[in-house]
């Protein structure tokens, strides 16, 4: 999940009259459009499950080296299905972030790769990603029930498994007390930040776009969860290094998107009034650049947080209070951004920024389909998607 496309639904007078609440019709349409994409994801998940099963049977699984009791692949099939859904969710999250960044930033000028097509792919892969994330957690939940029933009644087994699997901070032992919290934060943030698109008729386009841009945090938490807890990537070696290396293109694409956004008004030196202060926008670009350098250093030095097969497990890090504090800071940042946008929308037109727009900027926004439309104070934007009957971008991934 990454920065989202700037197009939004039509702001024609007839459309304004239908502005009510959640866009259920739009969600249903996107879910129907995601059927082929989700079907492909399920096929891939089954292939991953088969690969994990075969590695367990052959004794090559790194997971079995860590937890020998999982060597019975038939008995622990729900655990292995959980792992398979986790890897397919990670792959789909990666793909949807790429689509999102390409839609809202520079993209190849290939005739077959239109903005409308990218939006459609981003929407469908975003919804599929949420579904895969839920299934990853669900199969962990069912495996916990199976394990609990060796000790407790069915009712207590289900309740304990629910707390361990779906309540942030509920899992209280080992690496899982940090890793599962990180994974659940990713899942629960993906829902409001991604599905805010379907509340755009109530919030206005600028607010849902601002919310959706925070979804990049969902991907960061997801890859952190993978590198911290995935037993297939726990040890040093080529596979873990590959997972790190795959983050380089994303970091580079994100930096490129920030430096050369599709909307001229989002450029760092733009004269437009922004909801996010100049200092924060500059800091964001510096952080992404530093992350890119850090990824290169991790890959070159081999210091990637893995451990040797015969090494002792590291203590869980960071403590849960650090994660909760980070969530508080993140929430404050989201709320402040929304309040600033609301304040700008309520200002009389004469008090808003009147910085001139160059002819080049105006032409670029018209070409991108992102020119603001006067209307109800939320400055709803129209986009290429509305002209072709396609709806605006993704529920999930951040672009």
> Nearest 5 degrees, angle CA 358-CA 362-CA 366?
170
Q: Pull the structure tokens for residue 202.
A: 């109530």
Q: How far apart are CA 140 and CA 30, in angstroms?
A: 28
pLDDT at 356: 41
**DSSP characters over 281-314:** HHHHHHHHHHHHHHHHHHHHH--SS-B-TTSPPP
Q: How far apart are CA 265 and CA 276, in angstroms?
A: 13
Q: What share of the chain is helix, strand, coil (3-state, %, to 5)?
A: 65, 0, 30
Q: Is the dihedral of CA 205, 211, 213, 218 positive or negative?
A: negative
pLDDT at 10: 41
Say if 2 falls within a structural domain.
no
Is the whole-model pTM more than 0.95?
no
pLDDT at 104: 78
List per-residue pLDDT tens for the chain, 399 residues long: 544 444 444 434 444 445 568 888 989 999 999 999 999 999 999 999 999 999 999 988 888 888 888 999 999 999 999 999 999 999 999 999 999 888 877 766 777 778 788 888 898 999 999 999 999 999 999 999 999 999 999 999 999 999 999 999 999 888 889 999 999 999 999 999 988 888 888 888 888 888 888 999 999 999 999 887 777 777 767 888 888 999 999 999 999 888 877 666 666 765 566 656 777 778 888 999 999 999 999 888 877 777 666 666 667 778 899 999 999 999 999 999 888 888 776 665 555 444 444 333 443 443 444 444 333 333 333 333 333 334 444 444 443
pLDDT at 37: 93
Cis peptide preceding 318, ω within 30 of 0: yes
Say if 5 falls within a structural domain.
no
pLDDT at 363: 38
pLDDT at 209: 84
pLDDT at 313: 64
Say if 8 falls within a structural domain.
no
Say if 1 falls within a structural domain.
no
What letters, b where the CB count within 10 A reaches 16 and e where it falls short, cover 270-292?
A: beeebbbeeeebeeeeeebbebb
Say if 357 falls within a structural domain.
yes
Q: How far apart are CA 116 and CA 391, in angstroms?
A: 9
Say if 64 falls within a structural domain.
yes
What is the rounded (10 degree) CA torsion for 35, 389, 216, 102? 100
Alpha-carbon 357 to chain mean position: 33
Q: Indicate the SS3 state at residue 246.
A: coil
Q: Is the dihedral of CA 320, 326, 332, 338 positive or negative?
A: negative
Question: What total of structural domains would you count in the chain?
Answer: 1
Domain holding 259, by residue range, is 13-387
pLDDT at 390: 40
Say if 393 falls within a structural domain.
no
By the 8 A CB rule, do 157 and 172 touch? no
Q: Pull the structure tokens for residue 275.
A: 């909801």
Alpha carbon distance, N-terminus to C-terminus of the chain: 6
Say if 394 falls within a structural domain.
no
């Amino acid at each position: 999940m990454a920065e989202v496309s700037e197009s939004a639904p039509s702001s024609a007078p007839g459309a304004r009259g239908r502005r009510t609440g959640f866009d259920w019709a739009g969600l249903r349409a996107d879910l129907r459009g995601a059927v082929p994409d989700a079907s492909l994801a399920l096929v891939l998940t089954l292939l991953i499950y088969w690969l994990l099963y075969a590695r367990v049977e052959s004794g090559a699984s790194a997971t079995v080296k860590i937890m020998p009791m999982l060597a019975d692949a038939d008995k622990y099939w729900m655990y292995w299905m959980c792992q398979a859904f986790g890897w397919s969710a990670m792959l789909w999250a990666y793909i949807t972030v790429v689509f999102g960044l390409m839609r809202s930033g520079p993209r190849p000028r290939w005739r077959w790769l239109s903005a409308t097509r990218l939006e459609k792919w981003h929407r469908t892969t975003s919804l599929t990603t949420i579904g895969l994330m839920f299934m990853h957690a669900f199969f962990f939940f069912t495996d916990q029930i199976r394990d609990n029933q060796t000790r407790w009644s069915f009712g207590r087994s289900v309740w304990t498994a629910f707390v361990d699997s779906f309540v942030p901070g509920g899992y209280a032992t080992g690496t899982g007390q940090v890793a599962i919290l990180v994974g659940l934060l990713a899942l629960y943030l993906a829902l409001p930040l991604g599905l805010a698109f379907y509340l755009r008729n109530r919030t206005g386009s600028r607010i849902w776009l601002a919310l959706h841009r925070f979804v990049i945090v969902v991907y960061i938490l997801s890859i952190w969860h993978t590198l911290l807890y995935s037993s297939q990537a726990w040890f040093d070696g080529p596979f873990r290094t590959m997972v790190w290396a795959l983050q380089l293109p994303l970091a580079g694409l994100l930096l490129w998107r920030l430096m050369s956004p599709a909307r001229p008004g989002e450029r760092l030196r733009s004269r437009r009034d922004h909801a996010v202060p100049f200092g924060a926008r500059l800091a964001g670009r510096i952080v992404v650049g530093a992350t890119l350098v850090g990824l290169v250093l991790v890959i070159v030095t081999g210091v990637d947080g893995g451990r040797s097969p015969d090494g002792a497990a590291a203590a869980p890090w960071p403590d849960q209070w650090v994660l909760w504090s980070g969530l508080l800071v993140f929430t404050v940042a989201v709320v402040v951004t929304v309040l600033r946008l609301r304040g700008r929308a309520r200002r009389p037109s004469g008090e808003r920024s009147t910085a001139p727009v160059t002819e080049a900027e105006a032409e670029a926004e018209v070409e991108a389909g992102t020119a603001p439309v006067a209307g109800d104070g939320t400055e709803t934007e129209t986009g290429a998607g509305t002209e072709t009957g396609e709806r605006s971008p993704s529920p999930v991934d951040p672009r």
